[in-house]
Amino acid sequence: MVHKRAVRHAAFPRVSYGPMLQRDQERIANLNYIYNSNDVEAIQMLRMRIAPLFALVKTFKDRGLLVDSIHTSVEEQVAMFLRAVGHNQRFRVIHSTFRRSTETISRYFQQVLYVIGKLRGEIIKPASTNTPPKIKNSYRCFPYFRDCIGKIDGTHVTTKSSAHDASILADILSRPDGLQIPEGNFYLGDAEYACRPDILPPFRKTRYHLNEFSPRQRPQNAKELFNLRHSSFRVTIERAFAALKNRFNVLEQNPFHTFDTQVKWSLLAAFFTTGS
């Protein structure tokens, strides 16, 4: 009598894998295509231009943050990571492109994510503590925003948990390696933030957003005029967030990674935007 399990297995043909040499050749050809492409193709595949991509790989190698393994180069490790965060692809989808097991892809994804975190303090930092020329040279906004050095805002990223903008700000300001605002300077924030010496929000219960004003609906008082000028500068960061989400789909679509991993890539997405 034949066991039922044996019959069930016999009903499906055994998968026949190709020789490792062929898969290695396909893998090398794929990497050569990626790293020898132009900027348009590189952005479509990895969401980064070629020059910053090479610079990122070189930094990892020069500092010993990532090393070539017997079978996987640093270039491939970085490429697999960028496919995951750039297109929000599952590891089993990336497997079909890079011909690596999901375990291998997952392992290098975590390694690249970790080493990028070690560099965030060098990349994600205010460009200057001086008032931007756009404010300093504007008669509409100077001297009202004389000590403003930037804009601050929160954005919704699809995760398994969330928090209020004010709570996130309080947390990042309390960290030794968090946001440092020089004394006497401030950031522009929206109405979600409380007014404090280093954060200047708009007047509440007063027209604020640009689409609420028009040639026929001009500011009617000093508070509305202030809010209009405040919004015209702070909208820059909203556009930056929109560009960031458009570039890295993992920030906009339903997540399938753990919450800790989501937090790491949400903070580090700015790394790629700054560096590319």
**What pLDDT is attached to residue 255?**
61
Query: In 3D, which of 222, 133, 146, 135 has the Cα closest to residue 186?
Result: 146
Domain ranges (residues) in the chain: 4-123, 133-275
Q: How confident is the prediction along the chain (276 residues), in pLDDT tens digits per residue? A: 444 444 444 454 554 555 667 888 888 888 999 999 999 999 999 988 999 999 999 999 999 999 998 889 999 999 999 998 888 888 888 988 898 999 999 999 999 988 988 887 777 666 678 888 888 888 888 888 888 888 887 776 665 556 667 777 888 788 887 778 888 899 888 888 888 888 898 998 888 887 788 878 888 899 999 988 888 888 888 888 777 777 776 676 656 666 676 666 555 555 555 444
**What pLDDT is attached to residue 171?**
80
- 153 Cβ partners below 8 Å, 6+ apart? 165, 189, 190, 234, 237, 238, 241
Assigned token pair, 61: 């190698």
Q: How far apart are CA 103 and CA 20, in angstroms?
A: 18
pTM of the model: 0.57
**What pLDDT is attached to residue 109?**
92
